[in-house]
Amino acid sequence: MTVSAHKVQPNLSPIPGIRNIIAIGSGKGGVGKSTTAVNLALALAAEGVRVGVLDADIYGPSVPAMLGLSGRPDSPDGKTIEPMRAYGVEAMSIGLLVDQDTPMIWRGPMATSALTQLLEQTRWGGEEGLDYLIVDLPPGTGDIQLTLAQKIPVAGAVIVTTPQEIATLDARKALKMFEKVEVPVLGLIENMAVHVCSNCGHSEHIFGSGGGAQMAERYGVPLLGSLPLDVGIREQGDAGSPITAAAPDSPAAQAYRQAARAMAQALDGRPRAPMPISASLRD
């Protein structure tokens, strides 16, 4: 894949060394947003592009556990941080800088400051830079989401929801928030769309059906994919070995790869950035 840098919000410029920042958001918690973000990143990396994941959930970071990361990242100069690496992707999270059981009792300005520091002081991509930086947002539409939308150059956003009506109600708020701050919504991903019994093969729509497709049609955005409710996704995520890496030929992993390709294609249809973004510009 050849990846171009794409246009970001007005009055902002792409960050040197990062061609495209894609925000993964949701209107509520519990819809599998972090699991989706991590598996999308690994699916993109499997296509041969350079990918990073920024865990923007300052209060409840989960990306390190899902990627099986532990220890502390290095700081070669005392000012910048080397991202940690797993399964072909780079990652940074506040969870890598504090003890696992330490609660982040911070007000909004402190949390947003931590987010911008993690983004700007991490040495993403080395000399070659990143094609995509996937940002796993916390649920909702609060301070961190607004900071990302107003101060960080985002090429596009993806909304994760389940088919359940109560989930799509909240997902609409996240979609509207991105629209108001002029971040293009690349599409929706419907998680936990169908469960297939591992014993008998019976399919059941536990959280309802068609919610994601109806929301996509209503707001005129693509439905990038429908992901299964699969015990393997949960087991591999808990084990620190996401299913796209642990079982790349499984139906669940293939669903993530199809959604990642659709997301990349949706971004590719957006206007390009005015000039190429080179990692060397950071120096």
- Name the binding residues for ATP: 27-34
Tokens of 282: 């950071």
Contact status, residue 24 vs residue 33, Cβ threshold 8 Å: yes
Strands (DSSP E) contained in the chain are 21-25, 51-55, 84-86, 89-93, 132-136, 156-161, 185-190, 195-196, 203-204, 223-226
DSSP for 220-272, written as a single string: T--EEEE----HHHHHHHHTT--HHHH-TTSHHHHHHHHHHHHHHHHHHTSPB
Annotated binding site, which residues? 27-34
**Region of residue 201 (left: phi > 0; alpha: psi -120 to 50; beta: else):** left
What is the enclosing helix (H) or strand (E) of 144?
Answer: helix 143-151
